[in-house]
Structure 1
Amino acid sequence: MFRDFWEKIKDGVFTELVNRFSEAAPKILFALLILVVGRVIAGFFRRIVRRVLALAGIDRLAERLNDIDLVQRTGVRIALSAVAGQMVFYLLMLAFIIFATDVLGVPAITDMVRDLIDYLPALFSAFVLFLLGLFLSDMIRSIVQGTCQSMGIPSARLIGTVVFYFLFITVAVSALAQAKINTGFIAANLTVIVGALALAFAVGYGLAARELVANYIASHYNRDKVQVGQDVRIAGVRGKVVHIDATSLILQTPERAIIVPMSKMMTEKVEIFYPDGQEDHLLPPEATEL
């Protein structure tokens, strides 16, 4: 009895499995062949795209991005030709995967891959927005830092770094939104965090640099009143002016050199001595008021 039951199972179940496998085997082999051919074709076009873009000099555009401090810290080297080649490779592979799943008759995988392909334009635009934002953030940082340095504003590098990260975070959130990622929670909390950091930075920087700022302002308003080479007395110290910068001037006395903060020009009596016969070089009356 058991033997008869086993014979029925063997003849029924195994025969059906063999028949189904025989029917599916050609489809599986054909799907694998499609993937192999697709892999070869996608790899070929990837190499072509990389070489063409490299010869066109597109990688030179990425050198500016690679010089950014944030990118250097990550240890990642951006090569636009390689990125474009990889994008072409994966796009072609997805197309061949859809073809293979259609052959196998697996609509669930086909629909999933189609949805992924439909999502790629948003992902690509988010990537481009991120790169452009990174480049513009660094460019504005350089402009701000250079402007602060040319004007003699202290901590120019720190100010430029703060500006860079503020713009970079803003661009990163915008890129996530472009990629159809919900950024409502991030944006709401980011506004509070950035506001708190900006307030803390403004207060801390203002308290720490108030004397430097006072010297800078005094230098701006007194830059035409005292010149290098003049004999002056400031706060009871007499000497020859040998150097003037945005925050101080140096008086050379017979014994030593004295650095005088420019704020003293606003709070202390300043006397300028001229050699005999040079009264025409005297400052206008309003400049001598105490």
Structure 2
Amino acid sequence: MGIHIENISKSYKDVNALKNISFDVKPNELFGLIGPDGAGKTTLFRILTTLLIANEGKASVAGMDVLLDYKEIRKHVGYMPGRFSLYQDLTVEENLKFFATIFGTTIEENYDLIKEIYVQIEPFKDRRAGKLSGGMKQKLALCCALIHKPKVLFLDEPTTGVDPVSRKEFWEMLKRLQEKNITILVSTPYMDEAALCDRIALIQDGKILQIDTPEAIVNQYPKTIYNVSANNMYQVIKSLKAYSHQHSVYPFGEFVHYTDTREDFNTLDLNHYLEAQNLTNITIEKTQATIEDSFMELAK
């Protein structure tokens, strides 16, 4: 019960939001759609959940066509949009009962599916949804998306604006949901979350850049990356960007990730260059590529 997407394109007036998108999500797979704001992630989710119609192409969810079987699809998918969209004036329990009723079920009937998440918000069951913290809102929204035991779960940037602890807990919950035979398509702008997916599609400006496992994408990075630091990091970035042999220069935490155009690159050459820029405490060390490095290279 996976997802099939074939040559999907979507435009809004003069803006091409999606450009000939094609990929498959396998049954029970945790698949990540990774890209920045404006890449086309939400547009694709809305097409797959039958809220938008594509200009071109076709797609199916759990074996059902998004156009011909849209009513049936809505019974079998869970959708958690990027913006908190539950009823803020209703309590936690009232929201859950409302969504259960819409799908002709009860909280009790599918309690085993949401139990692990619900026990964390149960102490606040009489609190209005609008008064919950970001992490608790996220857990309530996930409960409401799961209450009818969907075959496919769509999560559009579910951890945006959520604290690191809640983000970690959320991804642990997703891994356990996989074990209950639910196919999960999740989008995120956070590159570190990409490594938690079985496979990922990197998307930019409505186009798919690459699809593979996170490990395979990182291993295919074509160059050696160096961590560069010195006493003045702003000057380091400025100097490296002006260096005639630089291939890429990106700030990365406390370092700058640097790649060189030369195959016989010698770190001493770069060290001498940076010293000539009046920089001190210079360090240049090899480092491993990340999903973010791969994305930046592909986006170039």
Asked if TM exceeds 0.5, the reply is no
Higher relative contact order (CA 8 A, sep 6+): 2
Interval of TM-score (by shorter of Structure 1 and Structure 2): under 0.3
Greater helix proportion: 1
Larger Rg: 1
TM-score, length-normalised on structure 2? 0.26
